[in-house]
Structures are given as structure tokens and as C-alpha cells.
């Protein structure tokens, strides 16, 4: 399975999502993460520690992908519209992470509008950095998106400082010492399971 993570806005957890989906998929089959972001955020993350999967840049990704059961692609922030179509057509699923704030949602709306105009339906929206209670921002945004019939993943990623610790240590969140590390990993694990279940349901 090839999963591409893309967003028209930075700071929505794109690289964090790519890293943790790759970590989940690695538990199912050999997984490769391709860092196609000019900032090389995923490669920088990997260089600081030890990730359980291979990370390469897009130039190294010309090698045969056959040994890998899954491939995750971390894309440039704010990709060009035409590039977005190419990315969508080259993968099985396009993941669109968004935080529950107005600027991120505005960028998401533009992205979805363009995908719809190009008749691309192989995408799902992932809510990230959901603030803890008593904030209801996550629930309110999910309810709003549900009314539009957009394909939103049931799972969501709560906002934890442990993700920043994981990035600094070059590890997956489950490897860092933080009281919320396991909860953060379970969020991505649930999303990964949902993605795999969905892909099996649409397989011929």
C-alpha cells in the first residue's frame, strides 16, 4: 500500500503523521518512508535516533520498491495543484492532516475543493493536534466536517508534548519517556488500523 501525506499548510503534523503511520505499517510488513519534502524533516528526524523503518529522499526512491509491503510519502508543504494530482494518482490513499483551527481548515477546504474538481476521491482527512478537554474544538470540527460528507477518519490524534520529544530524540513516540507517550501511539495505531481495514474493504 502506498500512502501519501499532504497539506496546503505547514504545522499540521504532516511529518509526524508520516513517521507514525510508517511505524505502524512496519509492524505489518516491511515499510519505506520517502521524504519528498525539501525541508527533509523526516530524514532529519531519522538522523537523530533510530527508527524501525528505512527513510530515503525522493532521489533514492528510484530503486525498486518491490521488497516493501508499504510505502509512506512525506510531501512538500503547500504542494502545487498539479503536483497534488500527480501525488494522488500515484498512491492508494492520500492523507490530509489538519489541526482544528480556522487557518488550517481554510487550507484544507482549498485542497479538498481542488481534489473534487479533479474527481479525486482517494483521500481521507485526519484531525491532528486535538486539544485536551475542556476544549471541544476537536469534537466541533469533526461534527462540522461530518455535515459536509467529507471522508474524515474516525480516529484522531490528540495534542501531546511527547510528539515533540519523539522528534527531538529521533524516535517513534512509544520509545520516549513521557506519561502520554503510549496514548499518543495508540492514537496513531487506531488510525493505522482504520486505514488498513478501509483498504481491505475496497479491494476487489
Counting Cα atoms < 13 Å in the Cβ hemisphere of 96 gives 29
pLDDT surpasses 60 at 204: no
Give pTM, 2 decimals: 0.93
Residues 6+ apart with CB under 8 A from 190: 155
Residues 6+ apart with CB under 8 A from 64: none
Percent of the chain with pLDDT over 70: 95
Q: Residue 31 region, left (φ>0) first, then alpha (ψ -120 to 50), else beta?
A: beta
Domain spans in the chain, listed from the N-terminal domain onward: 2-198
- Is residue 52 within 8 A of residue 175, CB to CB? The reply is no
Average pLDDT, the chain: 92
Residue 43 has a pLDDT of 97
The Cα 34–Cα 74 span in angstroms is 6
Residues 6+ apart with CB under 8 A from 202: none
CATH fold group of domain 2-198: Rossmann fold (3.40.50)
| Paired residues of 147 in beta bridges | none
Task: Give residue-wise pLDDT tens across range 13-42.
Answer: 999 999 999 999 999 999 999 999 999 999
| Paired residues of 83 in beta bridges | none
Amino acid at each position: 500500500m502506498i500512502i501519501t501525506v499532504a497539506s496546503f499548510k505547514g504545522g499540521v503534523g504532516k511529518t509526524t503523521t508520516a513517521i507514525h503511520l510508517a511505524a505502524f505499517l512496519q509492524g505489518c510488513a516491511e515499510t519505506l518512508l520517502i521524504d519528498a519534502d525539501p525541508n527533509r524533516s523526516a530524514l532529519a528526524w531519522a538522523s537523530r535516533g533510530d527508527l524501525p523503518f528505512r527513510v530515503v529522499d525522493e532521489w533514492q526512491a528510484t530503486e525498486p520498491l518491490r521488497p516493501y509491503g508499504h510505502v509512506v510519502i512525506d510531501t512538500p508543504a503547500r504542494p502545487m495543484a498539479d503536483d497534488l494530482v500527480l501525488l494522488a494518482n500515484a498512491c492508494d490513499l492520500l492523507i490530509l492532516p489538519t489541526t482544528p483551527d480556522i487557518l488550517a481548515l481554510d487550507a484544507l477546504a482549498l485542497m479538498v475543493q481542488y481534489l473534487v474538481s479533479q474527481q479525486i476521491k482517494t483521500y481521507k482527512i485526519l484531525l491532528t493536534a486535538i486539544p485536551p478537554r475542556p476544549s471541544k474544538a476537536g469534537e466541533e470540527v469533526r461534527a462540522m466536517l461530518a455535515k459536509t460528507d467529507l471522508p474524515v477518519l474516525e480516529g484522531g490524534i490528540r495534542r501531546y508534548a511527547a510528539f515533540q520529544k519523539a522528534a527531538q530524540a529521533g524516535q517513534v513516540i512509544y520509545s520516549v519517556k513521557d506519561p502520554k507517550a503510549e496514548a499518543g501511539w495508540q492514537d496513531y495505531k487506531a488510525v493505522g488500523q482504520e486505514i488498513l481495514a478501509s483498504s481491505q474493504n475496497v479491494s476487489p
